[in-house]
Amino acid sequence: MKNSKHAFWILVSIVAISGFSQGMLLPLVAVIFEKSGISSGMNGMNATALYIGILLASPFMEQPLRKFGYKNIILIGGLLVVVALALFPLWQNFWFWLLLRFFIGIGDHALHFATQTWITSSSPEATRGRNLSLYGLFFGIGFAVGPLMTPLVNISLSLPFIISSAMCLVGWVFIFALKNEYPENDEGIGGLKDTGKRFGQALKYGWVAFLPPLAYGFLESSLNGIFPVYALRSGIEVSEVSILLTSFAVGGIITQLPLGILSDRFGRRKVLIVILFLGFTSFSAASFLEESFLGLFICFLSAGMVVGSTFSLGIAFMTDIMPKNLLPTGNLLCGIAFSLGSLTGPSIGGVIIQAFKQISFFHIVSTLLFSIFLVIVVFGKRMKVNLASEKSA
C-alpha cells in the first residue's frame, strides 16, 4: 500500500467490522432457528448458503480484481453486505434468509479477497507474518464481539441486524479514502480456461498451505453454526454459549500477533505443526469436560489461542511458497479452501449430531485438526523444497 500510510489500518479495520458481522450472524441465526423448531440439519444447510456464495463467485473474482483494482472490489463487496444485513428484519423466512446469506457470502468474499491480496502482495517477507497476523487479529476482534449480540434477540429480533448493518456502512464509507491499486500484471489472464490453468499451477505449488484455511473454515462455521444447537440440547444456556464462542475468539486475539512474529522467525510450517497439535489436544480435552462450563471455557480459550491463527498463518505460508504472479490465485484458493471447510462444518456437523447422539461434537473437530497436522508434518517441508528447486532450475 504505497499510496497511503493509513491504508493498511483502514483495511484491517474494515476486516474487523466484517468479522463482527460474521461472528454475530452464524450463532444468531442458529439460535433463532433452533427456537423456531427448525432441525439441526436444516439449520446447518442454511448456514452453508454463505459459503456456497463464496464458492460460486470464486472463479469470477480474479479478472475483475485485476481490471478494476482492490478498492473498487472492496466497495462492491462491502455494499452487498450492508444491504443484505439490512434486509434480514424485513421477513423471518428460512428461504429468504438463506438467499441473504448467499449474497453476504459473495460480498464478504470480494471484500476479503481484495484486502488479503492487497496486504500479501505489498508485505515484505520479513514482516509478512506480522502483517497477516494483524489482519487476522482485527478480524478476530470483530469476530469475538459478534456473538455477544446474540442475547439481543431477546430484546428485538431486528436489533442485532440493524447494529451490524450500520457498522458495516460506516466502515464502507472509509474505503473511499484509499487510492486504488492493482495486482501485478499477468499476460496469462484470459477466460475461465486460463483461470482453470492458474488454479492448477497454484495448487501444484501450495496445496498444503490451503489446508489450514480449510481447517479454520470448518472450525469457525461449526463452532458458530452448529455448536450452539449442540450446546442448547446439552442444557447450556444461550448466554453461556455466547461466552464460550467469545472466549475462543479472544484466545485467537491474544496470540495472533505473537504467533505471526514467531512464524517470521522460525518458519510458518513449524508454527503450524505446533498449533494444530495443541488444537487437537484442546478439543479432545473438551469432549471429556462437557458437563463443566469452566472446563469448556478453558478448553475454548486455549484452543482459540492456538488454532485461531490457522487462517492467517496458512495465507502467509501460501505467500512464502507461491510465485508472486500467482498470489491473487493463491489468495482466491485460500478463500475457496476456507469455504469448503465452512460448508462441511455446519452440514456434516449438523447431520452427525442429529444421527449419532453418542458422538461428541468435539471429536469431529479434533479429528480434522489431527489429520491436517499429519499432512503438514509429512508434506509441508517438501513443498518448499520443490519450489526452491524449480526457482534454481
Mean pLDDT, each 10-residue run in order, the chain (393 residues):
67 87 82 80 77 83 86 93 92 90 90 86 76 83 80 83 90 88 65 72 86 90 80 80 84 88 89 95 90 91 92 88 82 85 77 74 89 89 54 44
Q: How far apart are CA 56 and CA 48, in angstroms?
A: 12
Rounded CA gap, 145 and 139, in Å?
Answer: 10
The letter for the amino acid at 57 is A
Distance of CA 175 to the CA centre of its chain: 21
pLDDT at position 372: 93
* pTM assigned to the model: 0.76
In 181-286, alpha helices (H): 192-206, 211-225, 227-233, 238-266, 268-286
The pLDDT of residue 383 is 60
Q: Please report the pLDDT score of residue 272 as a whole number.
A: 94
Residue 145's pLDDT is 82
Give the integer Cα–Cα distance in Å for 75 and 77: 6
User: What pLDDT, on a 0 to 100 scale, did the predictor assign at position 190?
Assistant: 53
- Give the count of alpha carbons within 13 A of 327, CB side only: 23
Cα separation values, 375 from 344, 378, 380, Å: 19, 5, 7
| Residue 305, pLDDT score | 93
Q: What is the pLDDT of residue 169?
A: 92
**How far is the C-alpha of 3 from the C-alpha of 236, rounded, in Å?**
50
When computed from its CA atoms, the radius of gyration of the chain, rounded to whole angstroms, is 20
Give the integer Cα–Cα distance in Å for 207 and 336. Answer: 12
Q: What is the pLDDT of residue 340?
A: 85
* Whether the Cβ atoms of residue 48 and residue 217 lie closer than 8 Å to each other: no
Q: Return the SS3 of 36.
A: coil
Task: Give me the pLDDT at residue 39, please.
Answer: 77
CA separation for the pair 27, 225 (Å, rounded): 5
Q: What is the pLDDT of residue 185?
A: 65
Report CA-CA distances (Å) from 244 to 35, 239, 273, 312, 316. Answer: 19, 9, 25, 22, 28
Rounded-to-integer distance, Cα 153 and Cα 211, Å: 35
C-alpha pair distances (Å), 100 with each of 92, 289, 312, 330: 11, 36, 27, 27
C-alpha 352, offset from chain centre: 22
pLDDT for the residue 392: 44
